[in-house]
Chains A and B, each alone.
Chain A
Amino acid sequence: MQTKTEIIYNPIIQGPLPVTKLLTLNNGFCYGAEVTFTGKVRPDIKADSKVTAIEFEVHYKLVIKEIENIIAECKKKFGIINAGVWHSTGKVSAGETCFFVKVESQHRKESFKGLQYIVDEVKKRCPIFGKEILKNGEYVWKENTSLK
């Protein structure tokens, strides 16, 4: 009989996320589908200057609680088997990864739907704040305005 191997992981990581390491994490099961989302810091233009990095601040307890709730909801809604969410705290440069989600299920449809749900809900519900550092030395506070 196959027994579940619990992964004890920390969803909040200081600095850019180690994507290669996260991709190869294995929980001992072999599912039919595994899909991932990789969110990177965009070199947007803000206040006439280029964004070179984001400094993230995280409300640790609330983020952990919300991630647990969102994954539980996703399992119930879409029948996924497992999911992991990671987000950066601290400084992440443009082009580096700050957000990573992995979803596993028997078939691809549940994984795709589950992934979309988790990404949207984390952005909407997790208390994470970001200061966009500009090339000219100034900064602007980032807001996910489309999800207010």
Chain B
Amino acid sequence: MECRIEYYGVLSEIAGRVSEEICFERPFKTFELKKHLITLYPEFGKHTLIIFANQNRCESDTLITPGSKIDCMPPFAGG
């Protein structure tokens, strides 16, 4: 399965890109995605990763389904 993922803030800087396609063999949980991303970009491990799928915030055990649009963000800094 393929999902489009977008990176924000310091994460896009670390990844060197604002978005990419990622492939998984099956639907996956948020914690598995985070683990995968930290393998791809070890520097991500220094940050808290906040994941949204289809504009809904994901908990650690939220299942992410094929075709989901994922947003991967560091902690917020508004205000």
> A-side interface residues toward B, CB under 8 Å?
39, 56-59, 61-63, 65, 87, 98-99, 119, 122-131, 141-145, 147-148
Contacts and interface: CB of A to CB of B under 8 A. Distances in A.
Interface of B: 8-10, 48, 50, 52, 55, 71, 73-79
A148 B47 CA distance: 12
Given A57-B8, A57-B9, A148-B48, A127 B73 contact: yes
Nearest to B10: A141
A122 B75 CA distance: 13
17 contacts: A57-B9, A62-B71, A63-B78, A65-B55, A87-B78, A122-B79, A124-B76, A126-B76, A128-B77, A129-B73, A129-B74, A130-B78, A131-B9, A141-B9, A143-B74, A144-B75, A147-B76
Contacts of B71: 59, 62, 127
SS class, residues of chain B in contact with chain A: loop
Contacts of A130: 77-78
Contacts of B8: 57, 59, 127, 129
Contact of A148 (B10, B52, B75, B79): B75
Contacts of B78: 56, 58, 63, 87, 99, 122-123, 126, 128, 130, 144
Contacts of A124: 76
B54 to A, nearest CB: 11
Given A87-B78, A141-B74, A141-B77, A129 B9 contact: yes
Contacts of B48: 148
Residue among A61, A124, A126, A142 facing the most chain B CB atoms (10 A cut-off): A142
Ranked nearest first, the 9 interchain pairs of A and B with the lowest CB-CB distance are A128-B78, A129-B9, A142-B77, A123-B79, A130-B77, A141-B10, A143-B75, A99-B79, A126-B78
A63 B48 CA distance: 19
A65 B79 CA distance: 17
B76 A123 contact: yes
Contact of B75 (A39, A59, A98, A145): A145
A4 B3 CA distance: 43
